[in-house]
Chains A and B, each alone.
Chain A
Amino acid sequence: MLLAELKPDGLVRILEDVQKPLTLGRETLRTGTLSAASIQKAVNILRQYRAMMDSYGVTHTRAVATSAVRSALNRDTFVDRVFLATGIEVEVIEGSQETLLTFAAVQRALAAQPDFAEGDSLMFELGAGATEWALVRGGTVAGSLTYDLGTLRMRDLLRAESGDRRAMTRLIQHNVREMMNSVKRTLPFEKVANLIAIGPEARFAARSLARTLGGQGELAAVSAKDLRTLADQILAMTPSEAATSFSISTLEAEALAPAFLAYAELIRLNPVDRLLVARASIRDGLLLQVAKSIQSGSAVIFPEQTIAAALNLARKYKADERHGLHTAGLARAIFEATQAQHGMGELERLLLEVASIVHDIGNYVAARGHHRHAYYLLVNSEVFGLSKMDLEIVANVARYHRKGAPQSDHPAYAALPRSARLTVNRLSAILRVADALDKAHTQRIQTPKITVEDGELRIDIESAEDIGLERMTLDQKSGLFEEVFGLKPVLREVT
């Protein structure tokens, strides 16, 4: 737990930083559920935290649970039990959100140190099941990627009876190389100035090997050679010997050697002369987010980065960026003008903008059925800052930017929870109108004045150009909007 005070000038002062050991992960991995005893232990710890929070008079709290709880079959029981006993609402978050929060904290730490603020930085967290990547450029995240390679699988390979250790080391190196190829394909960078690892294994390496660099121990550096030597040392021991010798759990000990081999390979491949390890953890990110939302009142963490990520995706699939951005602007204007009708919030507005930017990417696969292709590409992509469910909504909205309206016999749509389906209906209705207004892809309808009056959505423009095409398209494509909002879009020229 991190407990902090937010100063009026926006500075955050940490008051308490406490950690209690409890290894839920191994249990979930082995049995698939959390035992009553473990839940009780967790409740006991959280009760103590509750007491501390009360004594400080804490006003804002955010508590999250990650993979161990996420993959437990009885996770709802856990969450409910904690709430009943302590009043703390635990949010179970996805791996990508987890990393997002940590990256935010690291990015901030990085920005504070001029030596590392220059050039492209690649941040990654080699997790148990997957590796999360983010490219940081000019202080903001310019792209992100999740790759299915984690310490669990590597550990199994190292242990496997079938091959000798040399072959397994090769295999890990090969897998890491493939991962790096994928990172290079997906994230737009030329040369990496800083390679930054986060996560418990990286912090372990930093504690054992590193010199601290500047700041208050925010960053540390380790070399490939030292990492390999340390990996060899660990591999010479059994996991339980390693656990005893470093006073960590066996599970944690087993992840070390594969992680260090992977780090060393990444140093070699990039190439960089050292690996930087960031001290920041998810808790720092959470704190940052709580502070930010208190200040701005916003639930959306990084809207600019999310938009930048959407633009990257549009570029990758060679969609018309100007049309996408213009449609996003028009969609946003309609969204705001109809605020009273739909009552949707900032997150939905962001999803609408993202969907507008990427709605045509399916053309890359084939013009025929490009709305369906957009859906496929989107659900299999990543947009920084969006959860899987957010992305699923964006993909559906893009899918419904043309052709048949959402209907319950479309499996991808039907699989959504009801609230998400409503969001899809509303946002795709808006997107269709916005898209129709830039049918010619010439951006000739600029800054319209949009108002709601007498059952109409009035779109008033001052235009010298002929807008016959847009008018006709609007007529054809506004059906869904009329159904969803009960408003008829009308394009009016005012002089």
Chain B
Amino acid sequence: MPSSKTRVFPIRCAGMDVGSNALRLAIAEFKSPDRYKILERRRVPVRLGESVFKTNRIAPETLDLALDAFRDFRRCMEEYDVVLHRAVATSATREAKNRAAFLERVHTETGIDLDLIPGPEEARLVGLAVQSKVRLRGTSLIMDVGGGSSELALVQRGQILLVESHNLGTVRLLEQMGDAPAGHSLRILRETIRAARFPLLESLRGSAVTQLIGTGGNIEALATLTGNGPGKMDSGERRPVALPLERLRRHLVALAALSPEERAKKFDLRPDRADVIVPAGAIFEYVVTRTRVRQITVPFVGLVDGVLLDLAREAGASGKKELESSQTLNAALGVMRKYESDPKHPRHVAELSLSLFDQLKAVHDMGKRDRLLLEIAALLHEIGNYISASGHHRHAYYIISESPILGLSDEELHVVACVARYHRKAPPDTSHECYAELPERARDRVRALAAILRLADALDHDHRQRVVDVSAKKRDSELILKARTRGDVTLDEWSVGEKGGDLFKEEFGLKPILKTRV
């Protein structure tokens, strides 16, 4: 496929992972969006999570250590002539009350912008990395155990079906276990983990998973605790290995019986690995026992590799981008199914919305990404009814803004939530907090998309899908909608005239008029 876009390759990219336990950098050269060779890997043991999980703030000493690491990363990127870079920060930074100051200082002192990513996005990136190394068959569960949180992703035929993020992280667990009596610690750990709920595992009932993949430094250390390290592949990267449950258990019991100092000595572990390895092992142990799989495949890739691959895709073909938007849509459908028992109406409204969007391109001048947000908002606009019919538009806002959707940034998620919120009742107004807190450009998107959604919703006011489809034409200051109908559409007609068109008229200066052909 010789297109102008593929010509960007080869390209050098850098990925950074600002985790709870360490800061990581990886630099790679991409020959194509999927083929790459790692040039450099660095890991600096700055434990951001330690102070955050205790005091909700990044301590000044930690901040200084982090700044040193970023300066070093910066130099390294310059040495390798890196063209594209992206740094993602996970739970520790996300939860720190002084994160704004942290981001600001990193930016001003090193020029690196940290991207705060939610748990599901973390899972998606790890999923990308895993699939570059291991061929996933059947249904796989990818599990990444970090310092502040654990991410589970369920993958089927290359598609991520579900992701789930837990506040169960190794550094966090250590903080909680602080004063647990020695000798009991493994048991208490196991029970704490068992007490945490994993709705994803419960919904699977263990049977469906055919493959379990473990990522993160701890499981890598556990997989290579004894015996020789893993073999190398042609690319110089380590070859995936399998860790059977029995061996994991043996290691865990042996490690738990020792103090962190003894562990470090006996198994040749770094000091910042020697303490967290036990809680991490216990989390993995629990998840394995909840599935029928008896071993964990360790691919020796992590979040940084995902960030790299994602960057390369972005630089590369747009076909990949579309694949991802279908994944995003799948994630949104997952949310819809959870709250909506009869999705005929929202599905139809989504169809009508997209049809209006496509026909009115000249009127609204919005792009593909906006189209995707509109589709998701239309699919989810009624989910608030699950909580209560009264104020259901506000409940939809609440649910959506608390249900991170894979592939949507925080801002996009809030745009979707607002568009769903404004599908009925008062139009967007800066006296509404949810709307006022959005940046200007996002507010413009909300108004335009909500105007289209309201009109589409009015076309199916009766919830009976009687307006089958419409053709929309601009005529002077009117928008003539010719509808193909099935049955009596009195109510839909009334709704378009009465209120479905109010925001549309205000936003685009066109008054919608519905004409029915029988």
Contact = CB atoms under 8 A, between A and B. Distances in A.
Counting chain A CB atoms within 10 Å of each CB, which of B177, B342, B391, B494 scores highest? B494
B398 A376 contact: yes
Contacts of B385: 182, 185
B388 interface: yes
Given A178-B463, A365-B403, A170 B491 contact: yes
A177 B389 CA distance: 13
B461 interface: yes
A390 B398 CA distance: 23
Contact of A167 (B165, B166, B386, B490): B490
Contacts of A146: 390
A298 interface: no
16 contacts: A147-B389, A170-B462, A170-B494, A174-B463, A178-B463, A181-B342, A182-B385, A186-B388, A320-B197, A363-B199, A365-B399, A367-B199, A368-B165, A373-B402, A440-B191, A468-B184
Given A148-B390, A380-B387, A469 B402 contact: no
A387 B163 CA distance: 38
Contacts of A466: 184, 187
Contacts of A377: 387
B167 A162 contact: no
Interface string A143-156: 00011100000000
Interface string B172-211: 0000110111001001100110111101000000000000
Interface in B354-393: 385-391
Given A147-B389, A185-B385, A380-B387, A469 B195 contact: yes
Interface in B138-189: 165-167, 176-177, 179-181, 184, 187-188
When A and B form their complex, which 5 residue pairs have the shortest distance between CB atoms, in order from nearest? Answer: A182-B389, A469-B191, A148-B390, A170-B491, A167-B494
A171 B187 CA distance: 62
Counting chain A CB atoms within 10 Å of each CB, which of B388, B395, B463 scores highest? B388
A439 B195 contact: yes
B497 interface: yes
Contacts of A472: 177, 179-180, 188
B517 to A, nearest CB: 19
Contacts of B194: 440
Interface of B: 119, 165-167, 176-177, 179-181, 184, 187-188, 191-192, 194-197, 199, 341-342, 385-391, 395, 398-399, 402-403, 461-463, 488, 490-491, 493-494, 497-498
Contacts of A363: 197, 199
Given A170-B462, A177-B463, 19 more contacts: A148-B389, A148-B390, A171-B494, A182-B385, A185-B341, A363-B197, A365-B399, A365-B402, A365-B403, A367-B166, A368-B165, A368-B167, A369-B402, A376-B398, A439-B195, A440-B191, A440-B195, A468-B181, A468-B191
A468 B188 contact: yes
Counting chain B CB atoms within 10 Å of each CB, which of A177, A376, A469 scores highest? A469
Interface string A162-197: 110011001100100111011001100000000000
B491 A171 contact: yes
Given A171-B491, A439-B195, A469-B191, A366 B402 contact: yes
Contact of A468 (B180, B195, B395, B403): B180
Given A363-B199, A468-B187, A174 B461 contact: yes
B494 to A, nearest CB: 5
A170 B195 contact: no
A472 B177 CA distance: 8
A36 to B, nearest CB: 35
Contact of A163 (B184, B191, B398, B494): B494
Interface in A347-373: 363, 365-369, 373
Contacts of A166: 490
Q: Interface size class for chain A? A: 35 or more
A162 B191 CA distance: 65
Nearest to B166: A367
A366 B497 contact: no
A376 B461 CA distance: 28
Contacts of B497: 162
A441 B166 CA distance: 18
B166 A178 contact: no
A381 interface: yes
Contacts of B342: 181
Given A363-B199, A368-B167, A469-B195, A147 B188 contact: no
A160 to B, nearest CB: 9
Nearest to B338: A364
A359 to B, nearest CB: 13
A468 B187 CA distance: 8
A379 B167 CA distance: 25
A126 to B, nearest CB: 15
Nearest to B118: A368
A380 B388 contact: yes
Counting chain A CB atoms within 10 Å of each CB, which of B191, B403, B461 scores highest? B191
A318 B390 CA distance: 22
A167 B491 contact: yes
Contacts of A186: 388
Interface string A99-112: 00000000000000
Interface string A468-495: 1100100110000000000000000000
Given A376-B398, A468-B184, A468-B188, A178 B389 contact: yes
A177 B197 CA distance: 37
A231 B81 CA distance: 81
A168 to B, nearest CB: 8
Nearest to A146: B390
Contacts of B491: 167, 170-171, 174
Given A148-B389, A171-B491, A377-B387, A469 B403 contact: no
Nearest to A318: B199
A469 B192 contact: yes
A186 B493 CA distance: 30
A204 B329 CA distance: 52
Contacts of B490: 166-167, 170
B188 A469 contact: yes
B447 to A, nearest CB: 25
B488 to A, nearest CB: 8
Contacts of B196: 367
Interface in A428-457: 439-441
A84 to B, nearest CB: 38
Nearest to A148: B390
Interface string A118-150: 000000000000000000000000000011100
A239 B192 CA distance: 67
Contacts of A475: 179
Given A363-B197, A368-B167, A468-B184, A147 B390 contact: yes
A441 B195 contact: yes
A116 B194 CA distance: 48
Given A366-B402, A366-B403, A367-B197, A381 B165 contact: no
Interface in A241-256: none
B31 to A, nearest CB: 39
A163 B395 CA distance: 31
Nearest to B181: A468
Nearest to A182: B389
A290 to B, nearest CB: 31
A469 B167 CA distance: 18
Nearest to A360: B197
Contact of B167 (A163, A174, A367): A367
Contacts of B391: 380
Counting chain B CB atoms within 10 Å of each CB, which of A186, A382, A472 scores highest? A472
Contacts of A174: 461-463, 491
A469 B188 CA distance: 5
Counting chain B CB atoms within 10 Å of each CB, which of A148, A166, A468 scores highest? A468
A382 B390 CA distance: 11
A422 B499 CA distance: 46
B443 to A, nearest CB: 24
Interface in A45-68: none
